[in-house]
Every structure is written in structure tokens, then in C-alpha cells.
Amino acid sequence: MTATLDLARALIARRSLTPDDAGCQEILIERLEKLGFRIEKMRFSNVDNFWARRGTASPVIVFAGHTDVVPSGPIDQWVSPPFEPTIRDGMLYGRGSADMKTSIAAFIVALEEFLANNPDHPGSIALLITSDEEGVAVDGTVKVVEALQARGELLDYCIVGEPTSNKKVGDMIKNGRRGSLSGTLIVKGIQGHIAYPHLVKNPIHMVAPAVAELATTEWDKGNEYFPPTSWQISNFNSGTGATNVVPGHVEILFNFRFSTASTEQSLKDRVHAILDKHGLEYDLEWELSGKPYLTPKGSLVAAISAAIEEAYGVTPELSTSGGTSDGRFIADICPQVIEFGPLNATIHKLNECVGVADIDPLKDTYRLTLEKLLK
């Protein structure tokens, strides 16, 4: 048993189904207060968040993460209960072990070790912890960032403890994420009897050429860090259930995962132009759930890459793959945001787990990064 493993187990034992923190944050706050952090609890709606900071000078290094977890799924299909942390065959099992309570435990112990050796460190260290990352994510990190932004509090570096590793811990850092832009498109026609085609306007037939063009359009070529932007249909619904009725409308749900080579507005404008070109009568509602962000190679990437090599003996790859994360909000007030954490192979799955042997090197990675940035 190590200090990091012990704390990870204590957090996993809390049934913190999003957005319920279930007391995880109080465990963290108690330890941070002993280290001299000033704690601000920020509760929005039914979501618990806190901002902790030690120091007033720059640079400001932030560790960000979430205490909430996704539901366990069928408990009888877990080898051991999801909220009873269990070590078996060198693995620590439990919901949230990989995503991302082990990372949070590693944050805290890394800070304790760093401050024991560097009590008068330059700059500032902070933590941004939410219980709303796995849910709708509207009263968590985004609200804390808005509060910090409103008072002019800017950050220099941020490490998000998301499980980024692919085949072995340390092999991948996320230095950005694609944006996510969704659309709900309703194309209108005229319903009628299928035997009287001159009296109807079939919206499925009408929208088909536009769909073909949208599906084959090159939205951008991507760049050094991002693949080309992708447009995908997730749902296509129409019809009355009868075989002899032409429907009156068709509803299409689609999504862009877009890179920094495109903007929200440029994508919207091009979609509308294609739909208008095909003479469609339609309604289109948009929802932006995340902007793309990118941290190019620089001081933060260099520091954590060197720390990973020292702790794990692995040279990490930079990647922007995967879904969205709270890094998209933090990037509004922080020019350098990266994500690094355990293997992502079991996240959100039954029998989620992390390797026990990987836990202390994760703590060491975070501590070494602090040492390299706060010289």
C-alpha cells in the first residue's frame, strides 16, 4: 500500500454517480488545506466544484479533474462490487479507478511530496475539481472557468488527469481535442398517398442529393495535430409506419467533429449553402458542445514529456483523438492545456481497472512536471 493507492481506494469507495460527489471533494479539501491551499467551494445548481490555489504569483499551474463517475451497469456482471476497490492480479478494480480517481489521488500526493521539498516554490499551484464532467457538464468546470474569467484570473499551464494512455501508460498525451458541433435538420415535404406522386413532395427524395454532397464534402484538410473535419449522420428518421404514405418531413441528426482548421461559423455557413443550393424547405437547429483547442509543442508539453520518460521510461506521442473533455473550457483562460493519465482501455466498462504498478509512476509524473516548471 502506498499513499497514492490508499487515497485512490478511498475515493473509489465513494459512490459518486454524476453529478453526486458523495464526499470525495471533502477528502481532497482536508488534505489541501493542510498544505496551505485557499479553498473556494463553488456549487452551481446541484453540482459541487472547488477551486484551490496556493500562491499569488505566476506562473500558475493547475491540475484539473472530476470526482463523478458513470453508472456501474449490471452489478452482477462485475467480478467484485464496483464501489468496493479490490486489488486482484496486480490490478485495482472499481468504478472510477481509471476515469479518473486514480489521477486525482496522484495529484494530491504529488503536491504533498513536492511541497515537502519545495515549501517556498515560485509561482502558484491550483486545482479545479468538478463533479459534473460525466453528465451534462453545464454546472461544472465551465461555470468555474467563467467565475475565474470574470475576475481576471488567468492560468499558465493546466494538466487534466483524463485517462489518455493507449497501449501502455505514458504512450500518449492529449494536447488538444476536436470540437463537436451538432445539427437537427428537418426537411419539409408534402404528405400524401404514395399512388398519387403528383400530389406529394417526398422529403426523403428531396434531401438525398444534399446528403450525398454533405457526406462527400471536404470540410478541411486538418493540420499537423488534427485529422480532417468529419461530418456524420447519427439518426435519419421519417415515415408514418404505413407502406402507402409519403411522409411529410424527414429529421436528420448529424455531427461535426472539427479541427482548428475550421470554425463553428464556417461549418454552419457551408451547410446552409448546400441545403439552399438544393432548394430545400427546412429548419436547422445547431448545438455547439465543445470548441476545438490545441496546445502546440512548448514548455508544458516538453516538461510532462520529460517527466513521463523519467517515471515510465516511455516516450509519449501527442494526440488530439477521442471525444471532448473539460480541457475545452479551461483553454479559454489557459494557453497551454494537456491531458495525461492512465490507460483508457476499461473506462466506462464493466470491471474498470488500473495497474497497481502504474499508480505511483503517475504521481511521480505529476510531481516531476511541477519540478520542471517551477524551477
Domain's final residue, options 267, 290, 313? 290
Res. 375: pLDDT tops 90: no
Domain count along the chain: 2
185: which residues sit within 8 A by CB, 6+ positions away? 251, 252, 253, 254, 275, 282, 283, 284
Encode pLDDT of 71-89 as tens digits.
999 999 999 999 999 999 9
Which residues belong to the active site?
Answer: 68, 133
Query: What residues does 235 pair with on adjacent strands?
Result: 253
Q: Would residue 177 be called left, alpha or beta, if left means φ above 0 and alpha means ψ between -120 and 50 degrees?
A: beta
**Amino acid letter at 307?**
A
Binding residues for Zn(2+): 66, 99, 134, 162, 348
- At 241, list the grid cell: 409506419
The boundaries of the domain holding residue 56 are 3-177+292-374
CA distance 250 to 243: 16
Amino acid at 176: G
The pLDDT of residue 66 is: 98
Average pLDDT over residues 156-170: 97
Query: Is 251 found in the same domain as 139?
Result: no
Cβ atoms of residues 367 and 314 within 8 Å: no
Grid cell in block for residue 238: 421519417
CATH number for the domain that contains residue 276 = 3.30.70.360
pLDDT at residue 290 in the model: 86
Query: pLDDT tens-digit profile of 301-324?
Result: 999 999 999 999 999 999 998 888
Predicted confidence at residue 36, as pLDDT, reads 98
Q: Residue 279 contacts by C-beta under 8 Å, 6 or more apart in sequence?
A: none
- Helices marked H in the chain — which ranges? 3-12, 24-34, 102-117, 141-150, 203-216, 264-277, 299-312, 327-330, 359-373
Residues 317 and 347 in one domain: yes
Residue at a domain's end among 230, 255, 290: 290
Which segments are annotated as binding site?
Answer: 66, 99, 134, 162, 348
Give the per-residue pLDDT at 179: 94
Query: Taking residues 55-83, what's their average pLDDT?
Result: 97
CATH number at residue 335: 3.40.630.10
Q: Crossing angle for the helix pair 24-34 and 3-12, nearest 10 degrees?
A: 150
